[in-house]
Structure 1
Amino acid sequence: MASQASGISASGTNNASIGSFASKLSWNFNAFFYIDYPEKHLQAELGPKRRKTKGHRAYVCIHCQNPPWSNRVPGNAIHHAETAHRSLIRASEAANDTPSTFASGVLSGAIDSYIVSRPSQAALRSCFNKQAYIEAVVGLLTRRRPPFSAVEHSGLRDLALACNPAIGDLLINDRKQAMGYINSNYSLYSSQLAERLQTTQSKIHISSDLWTSPHRHGVLAVCVQWVDEDFKLQKALLGLPECKHGHSGATQAELVASTLRRFNITAQSLGYYIGDNAASNDTCLEELSKILEAESGAEYPHKRRRIRCIGHIINLALQAFLLARSKEALRAALEATADEPGSTMLEEFSQQLHELDPAEIVAHSDTTTHQEQRQEERQEQPTRKLTHARGKRATTTHQQASNVDERFAGWQGIPALAKLHALAVYIRSSALHNDQWYDAVGKQLGIDNITRWSSWHRVITVALKKKPQIIQFTAEQACKQINQIKSGA
């Protein structure tokens, strides 16, 4: 090592980068060394200490196989080549009468001209790992989700040919060919997964959910979880069958049953089913139990094995706690769903929680005469309307909010939330309003959504954070509307 250090010091390249080294050499550095990252496996570790870089690079000598040689310092690599492979360097120098020039840090001549034996076409093709290439393309298409036509792009082909110019006829150049490889991979790994599911240490638990693709295709995701023979929790996606002829529970049950049948999952090995609180999922599980019983003769206790979405239940409880005005309103909502079957009670309660009519509350709760009089007086008062610039939807929202019983009105009965909702609708009513808002506030407000449980939290967070800017924005918009009314008058 000392001799290497002295050689580096003598050459004056101890602290130089690889680019400055290569520009001073009369031979091609890349024909003797390739770059490796010995610590790159540390990137696979999870947690707060996960490595974000590949670590130190190492220059590995191509010509030293037994034993291999590598070093982290490029100057040491140059010294190694000039010491251990002097004959190859002289041969490469003899191939050129004058030192090679670089253009933008890349050697202008071919790399093959600097080594003694030029690789043949057969050698270049034999070093191409076609299976690894196919798996890489399949992984790119399925994990990053580019279009299948990406394999037909000339840029991807040029990239592969730049690495190996002899493999032009071995590349995937057709989208149908790529889809065929994906189907083959799925068939291969699904058969392996089916074998693993026969050696589980636990029941096989399933979950399903409907999803609509950007191209408006309805698909049903069927997932499984189980404990393997090493007592480790495993999970997998069994299939994404397309839901073509309806989204009813019976249709979903047929798709789930066909997926389970493909993986040899029977009623005896099937565990719990996890799904959201939609009534169609109850029907799906009931129909699935009939199919499984007809196929295997074993009964599947679908009511006991049904696990509902705990997030939805917690969301309903929070809404009832935060938005209900009285216990009578909650009692009215519960009584309105009391006659419904247990499988649909949560869904019906959610609907009643958001759309309970004042008349229904009066009919189901003990309303005092004073409360009835206050309700009548409030209904007789003229409804406060927004200006036409806020849009028809915002006006309707405030009209509904003013007519809802104050004991239970949901978010419509809370003035601050009703105002935020109207503001969100106004911003989204036109691109001009959105641009004016963003210029004044600098952050999108968003909008509340009944199916996005954290939407109200996000809207309120933005409103509190940008309160001064929002007050200024609303004041300016009000002034503009007043001026427009005056000028029109």
Structure 2
Amino acid sequence: MFQQSSRISGGSTSHAASPSSTIELRSSPTSVPLNPSDNSGCRTRKRKPTANTWAHAREPQESEPARCPRKNEKIYYCMHCRDPTSSTTVSTTFRRHLLKIHGIELVAHDHPIKKRRDSLIQDVFAKAGEAALEALMQLVTVRNLSYNCSSWPELHALICAVNYTAEDLISLSHGSIQKLVSNSYCVHKDILRRKLQSSPSKLHLSADVWSAPNHKAFLGICAKFVDMDAKETMQALLALSELPGLDGPGSHGGAEQWKLLQHVLEDYNIWNKIGFYTGDNHGSNDKLCRLLSEHLRGKGISWEAKKQRIRCHGHVINLAVQAFLFMDSKEAARAALEQIESDDAVAYGSDFAERVKAQQALGWRRLGPLGKVHNISVHIPCPTPLWVTPPFG
């Protein structure tokens, strides 16, 4: 507690001394020696004064003790008190005195150990919160949940049952999950971009057109590469872009696919690492590879469309089986197989596919009611252009 003392006028102490001036301390019967060697067997720990608190303290004057006799703690005197003077060794008491007597409010600094403790706790909760949000995003995307799942009371009840301190982990806003998923996509895409650019191998691309149940067409572009860190072969989906139909509604033309592929390659900046390209035997893929070769040639990169184009073997087998099933004569089937074996991909691309489709519909109709049921089941998930075909006769 504060010690207040009144001085007799005419004493040897001057009250006008500046707190910043250096005052020579003299020994007194009540003062404790400042030399540690004089205090045998008593080891004291030096404490650094708190700047904002002890800035209002002054050094002891001639007859004032510098340290407490019992604990050998340094005594600080209030520079604002003249008669009587006030002194203490406790920072909390000193701040209370400044606030109560002089109206000076000081903010106490936390102890370093307390600061470190609070920092560790915050880091642990921050990491746990990030992991929980990442798990939530994985749940929404992998299980195809609705974005408004953040407002499900059952989900909040489950999270609070696991950890009651996570009550405010999920925002109740419907757009919060969508924003988190979008941000996570950008982060993971940047990680994939760095993996592709640092891969020690070439990047082998594969692409195919996929039709959704809502009759929208998408171009899926994948890449196979060797991961620099894991030293193993990996496969990644680079993009699943919607075909805009520049050549007509639902068009799958090579020029249209090339526009999407070009944007993806520019986004990932992997022009100089392209290896082989795998696609089905449709003529549009040959056109796409020719456009890719011309574009890379303009960048000074050699890429041969015919040499580095890999055809889909399963698609070749599929065309051969369709020729045997749906061609109306052996001569037509033999001619179709000769076209498949030839090197001209366009010859058995779009033209042959159209002939096979016509013969396929006719062949199944010859089976009677079973053929009609087959045609109905095939046309239910078909793309939009096929809805304009004639009735199933």
Instruction: Pick the TM interval, shorter chain.
Output: 0.5 to 0.7
Partners of 2:364 and 2:371 within 8 A in 1: no
Point out the structure with the larger helix share.
Answer: 1
Is it true that 1:420 corresponds to 2:370 in the alignment? Answer: yes
In the TM superposition, what whole-angstrom CA distance separates every residue of 1:76-98 from its partner, at most 9, and x where no partner exists? xxxxxxxxxxxxxxxxxxxxxxx
Matches within 5 A, 1:98-247: 127=125, 129-214=128-213, 217-229=216-228, 231-246=231-246, 247=251
Indicate conservation of the 8 Å contact 1:225/1:235, yes or no: yes
Instruction: Give the letter aligned to residue 422 of structure 1.
Output: K
Cα deviation digits, residues 147-188 of structure 1 (max 9, x gap) = 212222222122222333333333233342222222222222
Q: Which residue of 2 aligns with 1:264?
A: 269
Q: In structure 2, how many angstroms separate the alpha carbons of the residues matched to 1:152 and 1:218? A: 32
Deviation per CA, 1:300-327: give whole Å up to 9, x if none.
2122222222212101212333454643
Distance verdict in 2 for CA 1:127–1:196, change over 3 Å: closer
Cα 1:331–1:221, aligned 2, differ >3 Å: closer, same or farther? closer
Give, in angstroms, the shift of residue 252 of structure 1: 1.8
Structure 1: unaligned runs, 5 residues or longer: 1-122, 358-396, 402-409, 429-446, 453-489
Q: Aligned equivalents of 1:143 and 1:418: distance in 2?
A: 43
Deviation at 1:189, TM superposition (A): 2.1
Q: What is the letter of the counterpart of residue 138 of structure 2? A: G
Q: 1:393-404 counterparts in 2 under 5 A?
A: none
Percentage of pairs with the same residue: 32
Q: 2:322 aligns with which of 300, 319, 322?
A: 319
Q: Does 1:352 align with 2:355?
A: yes
Q: Do the aligned partners of 2:293 and 2:302 also contact (CA within 8 Å) in 1?
A: yes
One-letter amino acid of the counterpart of residue 297, structure 1: G
1:355-366, aligned counterparts within 5 Å? 355=358
Amino acid at match of 2:371: H
CA contact (8 A) 2:326 2:359 kept: no
Normalised to the residue count of structure 2, the TM-score between the two structures is 0.55
Q: Deviations over 1:34-93 (max 9, x none)?
A: xxxxxxxxxxxxxxxxxxxxxxxxxxxxxxxxxxxxxxxxxxxxxxxxxxxxxxxxxxxx
Three-state SS of the structure 1 residue aligned to 2:218 is strand
* Higher RCO, 1 vs 2 (CA within 8 Å, ≥6 residues apart): 2
Q: Could you tell me whether the CA contact under 8 Å between 2:210 and 2:218 is conserved in 1?
A: yes
Say if 1:172 and 1:239 are closer, same or farther in 2 by CA, change over 3 A: farther
Cα distance in 1 between the residues matched to 2:232 and 2:133: 30
Contact 1:421 1:448 in 2 (8 A): no
TM-score normalized by the length of structure 1: 0.45
Structure 2 counterpart of 1:259, one-letter code: V
SS at match of 1:273: strand
Q: Give per-residue Cα distances to partners, 1:434-483, cap 9 Å, x unaligned.
A: xxxxxxxxxxxxx467999xxxxxxxxxxxxxxxxxxxxxxxxxxxxxxx
RMSD: 3.8
Question: Secondary structure of 2:150's match?
Answer: helix
- Distance 1:356-1:210 versus aligned 2 partners, 3 A rule: closer
C-alpha offsets along residues 361-400 of structure 1, whole Å, 9 cap, x if unaligned? xxxxxxxxxxxxxxxxxxxxxxxxxxxxxxxxxxxx8xxx
User: Aligned equivalents of 1:301 and 1:145: distance in 2?
Assistant: 40
Q: What is residue 306 of structure 2 aligned with on the other side?
A: 303
- Label 1:166 to 1:261 Cα distance change in 2 as closer, same or farther (>3 A): same
**CA positional deviation for 1:135:** 0.4
Counterpart CA distance in 1 for 2:340 and 2:234 is 39
Cα distance change of structure 1 residues 138 and 214 upon mapping to structure 2, 3 Å threshold: farther
For 2:241, what is the secondary structure of its paired residue?
A: coil
Letter in 1 for 2:270: I
Check 1:153–1:344 CA distance in 2 against 1; reply closer, same or farther (3 A cut): farther
Shift in CA distance, 258/353, structure 1 to aligned 2, threshold 3 Å: closer
Name the residue aligned to 1:444.
none
Alignment of 1:4-19 (within 5 A): none
Question: Could you tell which deviates more after superposition, 347-356 or 195-204?
Answer: 347-356
Shift of 1:345: 1.9
CA contact (8 A) 1:224 1:235 kept: yes
SS of the residue 1:241 aligns to: strand
1:336 Cα deviation after fit? 9.4
Instruction: Name which of 291, 296, 303 aligns with 1:287.
Output: 291
Structure 1 Cα separation of the partners of residues 200 and 124 of structure 2:
44
Determine if contact 1:204/1:269 at 8 Å carries over to the other structure: yes
Given that 2:326 and 2:356 are in contact with CA atoms closer than 8 Å, whether structure 1 keeps it comes out as no
Separation of aligned partners in 1, 2:183 and 2:255: 30
Count of residues paired in the alignment = 256
- Tell me the amino acid that sits aligned with residue 163 of structure 2: N
Distance 1:339-1:131 versus aligned 2 partners, 3 A rule: closer
Whether contact under 8 Å (1:257, 1:291) holds in the other structure is no
Q: Judge conservation of contact 1:211–1:221 (CA < 8 Å) in 2.
A: yes
Q: Distance in 1 between matches of 2:359 and 2:333?
A: 10
Note if contact 2:364-2:372 (Cα within 8 Å) is conserved in structure 1: no
CA gap of 1:245–1:355, structure 2 versus 1, over 3 A, is closer
Deviation of 1:258 (Å) = 1.6
1:278 and 2:282 equivalent?
yes
Helix, strand or coil for the counterpart of 1:297?
A: coil
Computing the radius of gyration over CA atoms, which structure comes out larger, 1 or 2? Answer: 2
Q: Shift in Å at residue 239 of structure 1?
A: 1.9
Distance 2:190 2:232 in 1: 20
Secondary structure of 2:242's partner?
coil
- Distance across 1 between alignment mates of 2:145 and 2:220: 20
Preserved contact between residue 283 and residue 346 of structure 2 (Cα < 8 Å): yes
> How far is 1:243 from its partner?
2.8
Local SS of the residue matching 1:180? helix
In 1, the alpha carbon distance for the partners of 2:123 and 2:231 equals: 44
Q: Say if 1:223 and 1:235, in contact at 8 Å, map to a contact too.
A: yes
CA shift in 2, pair 1:338/1:198, >3 Å: closer
Q: 2 CA distance for matches of 1:291 and 1:450? A: 39
